[in-house]
Structures are given as C-alpha cells and as structure tokens.
C-alpha cells in the first residue's frame, strides 16, 4: 500500500524545513529506517528516514524548497501500484494555506512527523517550546524564502568530489550574480562557503551589479549586519526611501528560521520569567596557573579557562540544588545531574550544545566534548538531544573583550551565567597594591525558583573554587 512521506519534525522548535538534498531518486528501492533526504531545520541539517519499505514512486518537493511541518514531500509504494489518487491529494493539499487546525489529514500528517523524530524532546523541552506562530505574514513565493541557515548541494567541479556546504546568503548572492558555487573554496567551518567568499568571487569576476553612487556605503552597512540576518541579494537591492523626511534610507532583509526561533524563545523568557541579576568579581590567577599546568602535562588536549568554568560551575550546582532547578507551574523540578549548556555563536545565530553530567567529568573530558560539540554546531550537525535539555547555561563573551554583561535565561532553566574577560587589575592584598587577573561574572536568576540569598551563596561557592581550584580535590 502506497504511503505519503511528510516533512518530519526533526527538532523541538521546528515548524518548517528546507529540503536540502534527496538521498534517493524516483524509482529507487527504500527500506524502513533508511535515510531518504537531508533536511535543514532551524538548528541543524538532519536526515529524514523512510517509515516504510517500498519504492520511491514520486518526489513532490524539489531540493532547496521550504515546506511546513507535516507537508507531503514524497510517496513510497509498490513498483506497479496506482498512486494517482495520492498525487492528486498531495497537489490539492499544497495549494491550501498551512493552517494548524484546518484539515484532519494535515493533523494526521503532523502526527506522523512527530513519530519520525530522532530523540524526542523531554517534557521540560516541550514546556520551553514557544507557541506556533501563525503564517499570516509568510511569503507565498518559495524562491524568496531563504530562511534556512545552511544549503547543501552536490559538488560538480571543484575537484573535491564531496558536498558543498553553503550559507543561504552566499547561495542567494551567488545565484543573483551568476557565480558557480562549485568553483569556490569555502573559508567557513568545514569548508562552508560564506558571504565573503561570494563577494570575493564577484570582485574577481567584475560581476558586481551597477548601483547609484551611494551603493558602496550600502554594501559596507550590509557587511556590518549580524550574520544571523539573511540578505536578499544585498549587492543588488537599492536602499528604500524613508517615509519620514530626512530619515536614513534602509533595506529590509529576510530573517533566518534560526533567528526567528531565537526571537520567539526570548519573548517566552524575558517577559514571563522574572529575572534578577547577581554580579561578582573572581580572582583567576590560580585557575589560570592550573590551566597552564594541565596544558603542559597534555599538550595534545589543551583546556581553556571556559572548560574550567564549566567543570567548577557543575560542581557548585551539586552543592546548591536550588540553582540547578526549573519552574514547572505547579512543581519545581530539581535536577540530579548538572547538564551544562554552552552558548556557541554560529553564522546565523546562537545554539547551546549540552555537556551532560559535567559534574562527573574531568576538565580534559569536558574540553574534548566542548570542542567536538562546537565544531558540529557550526557545521549544523548536532542532534536535537545534543542541544536541548540543559539544566544550567553558560555564555562567555570574554574572548571578545567584554568585561561584563547580562544574559537572558533559556527556559525552562532557572539561571544562566554570563562570563566576562579575564583582565589584569590592581587590587589591595594585605595592605599592598598588587596586580591580579580579575574576571567578572553575572548570573541571571529566575526569581520563581532562586531567591537572592540562594543565588549569592552559589556564586560564593563558585568564587571560592575558582580562586583555589584545589577545592576540587577536597
């Protein structure tokens, strides 16, 4: 019996997916559980698997198209089976607006999509997921929906014989300028082709579109925009005249799915969650010395200050379980293990891979795991269970020279620690002015589960261990 293949839910926050690449073609035999296609979600590139065995009779969504969760993307059946009815049904469904509560068939499709998830989200994750937005402002022209943070294509002539990993802005710019992506070498993580690679190719080929005299300034402004914003062919789009006389011209750019998801999650945090903030200064000389000694002992597995912070935060959480908790409306959930989310900046936004059970791991283990998770996060290869379900998060901007900042809690977690730069400063010790490496940290707390004194005691423990890491052995 022929079966419809629907766009599966591959991440807890996914509402639509971009079909990056078909791994099977029409007429190929497929087995249950076999990968059918690669899907770009709001967080990662993942494989959609066949839920039945048979022959891939019909492909209904082309590579590069974005469709909502539960949309029919293909049909699997017997080789000689009549599938005309299913094809007609799929065509009819594709012409209707994707309303979440309209057709029972679509509801059933979404149920099938839920069943295809690799690693279901926990109840805590479901509680954290934002409500599904209505699609009243979604564009109907799929060619304009460059919303996925990564595009995958077959390499045709770059001599590498593998896949090209291309950011959406680079793909759009290359298409508009007539640049063959297979002739480019990516400078991003894992050989990913990014905006600057296409801009360099346009400059070499002399294919930059002609614009009025103010265009060079506009391109500079576009280059300064965050990477999370996907440009609609910035080199070709002239500024829009402002409605207010004397105001600056502007250009509007389509947001990525990742950026839209971040925006929705922030609304569920900074508004409903009552934040308060605690800041303290920590003397880091002994922690820096410990790091130096560890790296001398094992040069192949170098640890960072952030790795030490992750370990010590996890240990401190076990001593202060009220901080390692989350508010669940009618209950407070206390976690038995310290699963630390580590914020990682990627080209299109921010993702937080999770170090599970960090309190029971060595600093070297944490270092290896963080490097691997960060690398796969930047190449969009994380699985949902690897970036959901943290019990506490750390955001470190010290490497960017930021001395102090406040971070927004990632629900349903009860707190997040913002880590600033480690800077030499004069301090008074035993009546003498000496120079010490000082680091400022700020903890954002959910006041529903963490009181001021509770958060302060946690920071006291964190400060004590960081200033004398030998406490880890006590």
Assigned token pair, 81: 């089976």
Assigned token pair, 204: 């070499």
Report the alpha-carbon distance of residue 167 to residue 45 in Å, rounded: 12
Report the alpha-carbon distance of residue 400 to residue 249 in Å, rounded: 31
Token pair 């310290």 is at which residue? 338
SS3 of 22-91: ECCCCCCEECCCCEEEEEECCCCEEEEECCCCEEEEEECCCCCCEEECCCEEEEEECCCCCCHHHHHHHH
Q: How far is CA 66 from CA 94, 138, 141, 381, in A?
A: 12, 12, 10, 19
Helices (H) and strands (E) counted in the chain, each on its own, are: 11, 20
Report the alpha-carbon distance of residue 223 to residue 235 in Å, rounded: 10
CA 168 from centroid of its chain's CA atoms: 15
Catalytic residues: 447
Assigned token pair, 262: 């971040």
Q: How far is CA 107 from CA 120, 134, 145, 160, 289, in A?
A: 18, 16, 24, 43, 58
């Amino acid at each position: 019996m022929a079966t419809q293949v629907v766009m599966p839910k591959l991440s807890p926050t996914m509402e639509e997916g971009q079909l990056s690449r078909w791994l099977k073609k029409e007429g190929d035999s497929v087995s249950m559980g076999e990968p059918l296609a690669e899907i770009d979600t709001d967080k990662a590139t993942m494989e959609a698997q066949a839920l039945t065995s048979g022959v891939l009779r019909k492909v209904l969504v082309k590579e590069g198209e974005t469709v909502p969760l539960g949309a029919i993307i293909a049909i699997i059946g017997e080789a000689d089976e009549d599938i005309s009815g299913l094809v007609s049904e799929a065509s009819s469904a594709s012409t209707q607006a994707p309303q979440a509560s309209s057709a029972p068939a679509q509801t059933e499709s979404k149920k099938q999509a839920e069943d295809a998830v690799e690693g279901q989200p926990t109840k805590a994750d479901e509680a954290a997921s934002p409500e599904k937005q209505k699609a009243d402002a979604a564009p109907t022209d799929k060619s304009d929906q460059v919303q996925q943070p990564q595009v995958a294509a077959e390499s045709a002539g770059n001599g590498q014989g593998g896949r090209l990993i291309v950011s959406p802005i680079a793909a759009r710019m290359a298409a508009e300028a007539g640049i063959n992506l297979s002739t480019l070498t990516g400078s991003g993580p894992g050989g990913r082709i990014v905006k600057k690679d296409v801009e360099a190719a346009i400059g070499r080929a002399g294919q930059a579109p002609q614009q009025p005299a103010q265009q060079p300034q506009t391109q500079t402004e576009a280059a300064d925009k965050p990477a999370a914003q996907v440009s609609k062919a910035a080199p070709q789009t002239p500024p829009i005249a402002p409605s207010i006389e004397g105001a600056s011209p502007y250009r509007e750019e389509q947001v990525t799915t990742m950026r839209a998801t971040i925006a929705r999650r922030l609304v569920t945090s900074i508004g409903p969650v009552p934040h308060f903030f605690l800041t303290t200064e920590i003397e880091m000389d002994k922690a820096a010395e410990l790091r130096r000694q560890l790296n001398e002992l094992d040069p192949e597995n170098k640890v960072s200050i952030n790795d030490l912070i992750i370990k010590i935060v996890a240990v401190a959480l076990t001593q202060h379980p009220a901080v390692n908790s989350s508010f669940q409306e009618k209950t407070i959930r206390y976690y038995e293990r310290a699963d630390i989310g580590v914020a990682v900046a990627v080209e299109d936004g921010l993702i937080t891979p999770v170090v599970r059970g960090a309190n029971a791991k060595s600093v070297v283990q944490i270092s290896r795991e963080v490097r691997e998770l960060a690398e796969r996060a930047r190449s969009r290869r994380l699985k949902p269970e690897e970036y959901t379900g943290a019990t506490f998060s750390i955001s470190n901007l010290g490497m960017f020279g930021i001395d102090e900042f406040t971070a927004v809690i990632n629900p349903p977690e009860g707190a997040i620690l913002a880590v600033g730069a480690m800077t030499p400063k004069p301090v008074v010790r035993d009546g003498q002015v000496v120079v010490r490496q000082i680091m400022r940290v700020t903890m954002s707390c959910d006041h529903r589960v963490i009181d001021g004194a509770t958060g302060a005691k946690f920071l006291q423990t964190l400060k004590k261990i960081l200033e004398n890491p030998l406490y880890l052995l006590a």
